[in-house]
Amino acid sequence: MSGRMSGASVDLRSKELLLEQTLADIVRFPPMNYEAVIGLEVHIQIKTKSKMFTRVAAGYGHDANTLTDPVVLALPGVLPVMNKAALDAIVKAGLLLGCDIAPVCKWDRKNYFYPDSPKNYQISQYDQPICLGGTVEIELPGAARNIQGEHKRIPLTRIHLEEDVGKLNHGASDSLIDYNRAGTPLMEVVSEPAMQTAEEAFAYLTALRMAMVYAGISDCDMEKGQLRCDANISVRPVGQTTLGTKVELKNLNSISFVRDGIAHEIKRQIGVLNAGGAIPQETRDYDGQTGASKSLRSKEMAHDYRYFPDPDLMPVKVDETWKARLRAECPELPFDKQRRFYERYQIPYTITAVLVPDQELSNFFEEVVKLTGAGLAQSVGNWVVNDLLRELGTAKIPLSASRIGPAHLAELVKLIDGGTLLNNAAKEVFSDMFQTGDLPTRVADRKGLMAETSTAELDQWCREAIAANPKSLADFKGGKESALNAFKGPVMKAAKGKANPKLVDETLRRLLAET
Amino acid sequence: MSTELFYQSIPSLATALEAGKLSSVELVRSVIDRTKAVEPKIKAFNSFDEEDALAQARESDVRRAAGRTRGAMDGIPIGIKDVIAVSGQPLTASSRMLANFISPYDATVTRKLKGAGAICWGRLNLDEFAMGSSTENSAFGPTSNPYALDCVPGGSSGGSAAAVAAGEAIVSLGSDTGGSIRQPAAFCNLVGLKPTYGLISRYGLIAFASSLDQIGPFARSVEDAAITLGVIAGHDPLDSTSYRTEVPDYRAALKTRTGPWRLGIPKEYFGEGLDSEVGRAVEKAIAHYQSIGCEVKDVSLPHTEYGVGVYYIIATAECSSNLARFDGVRYGHRSKDAKDAIDLYFKSRAEGFGAEVKRRIILGTYVLSSGYYDAYYLRAQKVRTLIRNDFLTAYREVDAIITPTAPTPAFRRGTKADPLAMYLCDIYTIGVNLAGLPGISVPCGFSADGRPIGMQLIGQPYHEAELLAIAHAYERAHEWGQRRPAL
């Protein structure tokens, strides 16, 4: 080939070379199937009256630096004193998630300089977290919205207790610090690197949040910073057992940013690897607005926190009696409730998926079922999820502000079941009692919506209907059961829709038998 | 000869006040006048607030006139080391870092003293952040020893010791992390008590080493120390390390507890480096105890030699973290020419802290660093346990232990430039802090050239009543403590 030295052949040869090079690249870097490995570190503010180590109130939305005292501001000479309510809350969280509770709550100092940390160390738990192990049960998205997805348990590494830091507000030429948040009890829930997809991470966070809200441990409002999430993400070729280099993704400050940020990071890492690059261990900052991330610091710049036991705080024993008391305060977990609603009342997923995430709503449902009996639970469920929620949504009020109590709905469902209230009438009664707070019987009486029960009048209408339709009479007598329906329309019409259909049915059969 | 007011004991002053022969205002005026007269020579105070002291004295007199007096300390001026918070008063730790800091709150001991009617008087000099043994490390200049003006008063509570010795306060409070009350007490011919760790609340005491720090009194007699201790002792909900225990009547114990006691002599405390005059004085004191029927036994504290090493790991580790809050962000010295937040830390701390403080912060940061923690801090904590066990083992056989307080009497200013030489001043006092025990220094003689000598009595945990009684049994048979400096 070297003999042909025309321009065209040179061109061809260079193309060949390019192809060879590309093929070589493909051999060296074959396009691979990658899988991601995700672990989450979730910080959750514990809802307590006072701060973690002092008596000043904890809260959100107050004027800057009003929730402070000498301890929060780390004035010379002050000392921390543990808030027992915060320890109660985290032990409860641990019991709820099946963690092992350490027999002793031990405190360590995590030393680092930053203006949001008044002492320039954070009181935290290093080598002996109060909760070890445990799992968070998650529900993955189903094939469709009304189909229940797969459930699985994400294992936890640990949960520990610490104090929150203040907040920096950066101006053009200076930065201001608000210490209101500083010292708020904070628990850090660390999962094992056991999730594979952004959807799993999303489901994990949703489930964790639901459990914490259920137990009254936190309101988990991400907008108020009550729940914050960092993700450790690595990718590896499918089949590889060792972990890839992890990247820590920070500032995932809404639940959808968590999903989007993780998805973006997985794509980015696979892209880097496919291009023959390597992933450096680093911390990246995700910007939810632009959907992009940038490097914050590399591993070399990682802090040496110089952890050591805090000499200002004595270890606190958590004994069996203490644990037993807290265990008694633990609520049923949402997914357990979902299963129970199905097993006990046969409430379908479409209803429980709405009912269960809302603790107040599911409690309301059970209050009503207590009054109606389990047999009417499905009907109760439908009314709560469809009608009650719609009315609440329209009125833009929470359930607690509603004028409809469990007794209202229970009576309504029983009236429908007894045939005294027809469906359309019941809808009208419901709307009315939502406005007035009157009980259904009263509304129905007031509005004349009760099904007709006077037998003399009904007998008369039925006789007329039978007499007016000899063909159907013959059909019925001839054994055609469905012919009965032909009489019902005229009867209902005569009753102006207020006849009890059960009663109509019975009366027609009685009279037909006599005819 | 009638003693000047400012040199009288708390019981005699209380009697005079109670009898109406003396007002607290008169007493405070006498102390103020004395302070003004001798302070140019002594320099015990970082600052004092005459008007504030007189206002407190007037309130005390009003209370007394109304029959609502609050006990033996009502109306008595007590000097406060400038690491203990008094609301509205400076709190400097003798550091440039806090030169302009005014405390907005009271320490628990301050609150208790005020509650007992005592008059918080002045801010007393110390080695910066209580780090030192001579009060030469103060950013505001050294304090002189009233008994030998060219000598140091000891440290770190040198101002607290010198003030009481010179009649600038009736009693005072100091803090003791490795000997900072007992060593200056020995140098200034005073009784100085370091209580059991946990007996006195540390809330409001600027932390040097949290697991070692303890507040305690300086006094010219065991009885005055006992009265002061009774006011400041007891559990505090604001300090998790304060212990829930009954506070006995320490003053009454001086009369009710009469021994004889079994006293231990640890040979490790009488070896090389001990000044011969100090050694002889302590031997004589031991002989006195034998003469009043006490059983004296040799005991061994085999891990003593590790004390100084362990101490300088634990104390510096804790201080490196405790002093992190002094960053120029919220209060204290802030460098004027910082470029950014990190630069603000660097410059403010570089300008605000003195050399010894920096040395200890660096040492402490090092021993806590990743990879060194196990070799230094963790091992030091283990040896600390061994040191405590040495003492507890000895207490199976004895009620208390007698040692010299310091290896030498007060030394001349500027003679211990080598930090290590200075660290060895605390060789006999450090073990007590590491073990969390109560220790008291009691005057037991003078050197030929007139410098005071103290002996240390070390007691069992929370046995301060016993310890004070043992000290009192010696004190009442000797006149060392009544010898005043020529000023």
- CATH number of the domain encompassing residue B247: 3.90.1300.10
Report which DSSP code applies to B102: B
Structural domain including B50 reads: 5-263+397-482
Q: Is A304 on the interface with B (CB under 8 A)?
A: yes
Q: Is A313 on the interface with B (CB under 8 A)?
A: yes
Q: Is A75 on the interface with B (CB under 8 A)?
A: yes
Q: Is A346 on the interface with B (CB under 8 A)?
A: no
Measured between alpha carbons, how far is residue B209 from residues A275, A312, B33, B361, B364 in Å? 54, 10, 36, 11, 11
Contact A120 B211 (CB under 8 A): no
Contact B237 A81 (CB under 8 A): yes
| Smallest CA–CA distance from B322 into chain A, residue | A119
Task: Give me the number of domains chain B comprises.
Answer: 1
Contact A313 B327 (CB under 8 A): no
| Segments of chain B scoring below 70 in pLDDT | 1-2
Contact A109 B321 (CB under 8 A): yes
Contacts of B368 in chain A (CB under 8 A): 111, 306-308
Q: Is B84 left (phi over 0), alpha (psi -120 to 50) or beta?
A: beta
Q: Cα B369 from chain centroid?
A: 31
**Average pLDDT of the residues in A128-144:** 95
Contacts of B239 in chain A (CB under 8 A): 79, 81
Candidate from B318, B325, B365 with C-beta closest to A74: B325
Rg (CA), chain A: 33
Tell me the pairing of strands A151-163 and A131-132.
Answer: antiparallel
Q: Is A311 on the interface with B (CB under 8 A)?
A: yes
Contact B324 A306 (CB under 8 A): no
Contact A77 B238 (CB under 8 A): no
Give A318→chain B minimum CA distance, Å.
Answer: 16
Which pLDDT value is given to residue A288? Answer: 85
% of chain A at pLDDT higher than 70: 93
* Residue B180 among the catalytic residues: yes
Contact B329 A115 (CB under 8 A): yes
pLDDT in tens, A438-448: 999 999 888 88
The band of A15, judged by pLDDT with boundaries at 50, 70 and 90, is low
pLDDT score of A490 more than 70 = yes
Q: Is B164 on the interface with A (CB under 8 A)?
A: no
Contact A80 B207 (CB under 8 A): no
SS (H, E, C) A88-155: HHHHHHHHHCCCEECCEECCEEEECCCCCCCCCEEEECCCCCCEECCEEEEECCCCCCCCCCCEEEEE
Residue B429 · residue B179 · CB < 8 Å: yes
Contact B369 A314 (CB under 8 A): no
The band of A16, judged by pLDDT with boundaries at 50, 70 and 90, is low
- For residue B392, tell me if it sits in a domain: no
**Could you tell me which residues are beta bridge partners of residue A139?**
A151
Rounded to whole angstroms, the Cα distance separating B324 from B336 reads: 19
Which pLDDT value is given to residue A289? Answer: 87
Q: Is B85 on the interface with A (CB under 8 A)?
A: yes
Which value does ipTM take for this structure?
A: 0.96
Contact B317 A81 (CB under 8 A): no
Active-site residue (options: B134, B160, B180, B441): B180
pLDDT score of A18 more than 50 = yes
Contact A111 B377 (CB under 8 A): no
3-state secondary structure of B172: strand
Contacts of A118 in chain B (CB under 8 A): 325, 330
Which pLDDT value is given to residue A425? Answer: 86
* Residue B81 among the catalytic residues: yes
Return the minimum-mean-pLDDT range out of A33-42, A216-225, A420-429. Answer: A420-429
pLDDT in tens, A377-419: 999 999 999 999 999 999 999 999 999 999 999 999 999 988 7
pLDDT score of A349 more than 60 = yes
**Average pLDDT of the residues in A32-46:** 95
Average pLDDT of chain A to the nearest whole number: 91
The band of A9, judged by pLDDT with boundaries at 50, 70 and 90, is very low
Which pLDDT value is given to residue A24? Answer: 63
Active-site residue (options: B94, B95, B133, B156): B156
Helices first, then strands: H and E counts in chain B? 16, 11
**Could you tell me which residues are beta bridge partners of residue A282?**
A247, A298
| Smallest CA–CA distance from A122 into chain B, residue | B321
Residue ranges of domains in chain A? 34-317, 332-447, 455-514
**Average pLDDT of the residues in A103-108:** 96
- For residue B300, tell me if it sits in a domain: no
- For residue B381, tell me if it sits in a domain: no
- Fold for the domain defined by A455-514: Arc Repressor Mutant, subunit A (1.10.10)
Q: Tokens at residue A188, please?
A: 């850090």
Most B-contacting residue of A105, A117, A168, A308 (CB-CB within 10 A), to test interface? A308
Name residues 112-131 of chain A within 8 A of B (Cβ). 113-115, 118-121
- For residue B384, tell me if it sits in a domain: no
Contacts of A121 in chain B (CB under 8 A): 321, 324
pLDDT in tens, A80-100: 999 999 999 999 999 999 999
DSSP string of B1-48? -PPPGGGS-HHHHHHHHHTTS--HHHHHHHHHHHHHHHHHHH--EEE-
pLDDT score of A146 more than 90 = no
Q: Tokens at residue B148, please?
A: 């030998």
Which pLDDT value is given to residue A8? Answer: 44
| Smallest CA–CA distance from B319 into chain A, residue | A311
B310-327 burial, b if ≥16 CB within 10 A, otherwise e?
bbbbbbbbbbbbbbbbbb
Residue B374 · residue B367 · CB < 8 Å: no
CB pairs under 8 A between A and B: 100
Name residues 206-235 of chain B within 8 A of A (Cβ). 206-207, 209-211
The band of A28, judged by pLDDT with boundaries at 50, 70 and 90, is low
* Residue B156 among the catalytic residues: yes
- The residue written with tokens 């002599």 in the block is B265
